[in-house]
Amino acid sequence: MNVIFTIFNDLLNVLFNISGDYGIAIILLTILVRTMLLPIAIKQRKSLKKQQELSKKVHQLKEKYNQNKEKLNEELQKLYMSNSSSILGCLPMILQIPVMYSLYKVFSTMAVEVGTKVIPWVSTLKISDPYFILPIAAALIQLLPNILSTLGILKNIGGGKLSLGNVIMIGAVSVLFLARAPIAVGIYFITTSLYSTVEQIGYSIYTNKKCIA
């Protein structure tokens, strides 16, 4: 992971030399990394969708053979064998963890004491947002796909719908975490949340069109 950290840190400095602003450099580096991980993220969404379909079939089999355990076990074995690739659906997510952790570490350990044009009301990227604008914005953006899904506006986002209570709880945890985090981390979370939102909406539109076709 140290190698990934060093690469990202060097890339951040290169992007700073190009943009002249560490806030913009953080945004550019986050977008670059997320774009590189996009094929893995799409594969993860497809695997998650297959897992959901598999769970639905398992539930149907349990209802159909609830009085015949031997037949149920036989049918479940056939189902799992024919969907062995779906069971490994968490693998793409695991592959992303070292990359995203290293990126987070780069931003959370920045040694520079400078501000950014992106967040003009702070003097340095190392302090937390005194007005809590970034934590609230990050939480709202992170929850936007789930809010749209709960309202029935967005479908097939690659995950199950969350209840309103869960949405509020996740938003509160995000705000509490980012309330004390450095501005650099806040910019990273907002950028990655925006990217994820666009990615999820794009995936939803694509899958809906595919179903209609």
Query: Residue 75's pLDDT band (boundaries 50, 70, 90)?
Result: confident
Number of H helices and E strands in the chain, helices first, is 9, 0
Q: Count other Cβ atoms within 10 Å, centred on residue 73.
A: 12
pLDDT of residue 43: 81
Q: Give, as one character, the DSSP assignment of residue 160.
A: P
* Residues present in the chain in total: 213
Is the pLDDT assigned to residue 18 strictly greater than 60? yes
- Please provide the average confidence, as pLDDT, over all residues in the chain: 83
Measured between alpha carbons, how far is 113 from 123 in angstroms, rounded to an integer? 8
Torsion of CA 70, 74, 76, 78, to 10 degrees: 180
Q: How many angstroms separate the Cα of 10 from the Cα of each of 6, 16, 17, 202?
A: 6, 10, 11, 31
Report the predicted TM-score, pTM, of the whole model to 2 decimal places.
0.81
* Rounded average pLDDT over 100-124: 91
Of all residues in the chain, the percent with pLDDT exceeding 70 is 82
Work out the widest C-alpha separation in the chain, in whole angstroms: 69
Q: Give, as one character, the DSSP assignment of residue 107.
A: H
Measured between alpha carbons, how far is 119 from 142 in angstroms, rounded to an integer? 19
Q: To the nearest 5 percent, what fractions of the chain are helix, strand and coil? A: 75, 0, 25
Measured between alpha carbons, how far is 177 from 170 in angstroms, rounded to an integer? 11
Amino acid at site 188: Y
The least confident of 29-43, 146-160, 191-205 is 146-160
